[in-house]
Structure 1
């Protein structure tokens, strides 16, 4: 899944969230660092849930984290 967005400081990013073990996030180092920072912590997949612990291979959880901490502009499968 290709995700395009911006951070709070206006910096743009584009990442490929692959869901694979070895290279789950391709692209922005800042996004990879954000995912690593929140790994293992609960993230809401929607406004009211459900809630799952963040794993870099869980594409839905990574997208939810990006929506919480950045402005997601576009998501393509």
Structure 2
């Protein structure tokens, strides 16, 4: 089931996406957030501030959510 995430980029622009778990289209709703996911694909990211590390991949919803939390200000995550 897709997660809905609402957040803000560093410049204050708001976004809302659905994290799909689909490798071809990991997020739907914001082209800018999709580009951010694509930019970080294949890089390791901690799932929590203390780890463990996971490689960002479109089909890995937890890694995509962790990447959004790290590089944007996530204000709301829903199921």
Instruction: Give the whole-Å Cα distance in 1 for the aligned partners of 2:63 and 2:51.
Output: 11
Q: What CA deviation, in whole Å up to 9, does each residue of 1:16-66 have, x standing for no partner? A: 001023432111001100000010000100011010110011110011001
In structure 1, the partner of 2:59 is 57
Q: Where does structure 1 differ by over 4 angstroms across 4 or more consecutive aligned residues?
A: none
Instruction: Give the whole-Å Cα distance in 1 for the aligned partners of 2:12 and 2:46.
Output: 24
Task: Supply the RMSD in Å over aligned alpha carbons.
Answer: 0.8
Q: Shift in Å at residue 7 of structure 1?
A: 0.3
User: How many corresponding residue pairs?
Assistant: 77
Unaligned runs of 5+ in 2: none
TM-score scaled by length of structure 1: 0.95
Instruction: Give the whole-Å Cα distance in 2 for the aligned partners of 1:19 and 1:12.
Output: 22
Pick one of 62, 69, 74 that aligns with 1:72: 74
Query: 3-state SS of the aligned residue for 1:65?
Result: helix
Unaligned runs of 5+ in 1: none
TM-score scaled by length of structure 2: 0.93
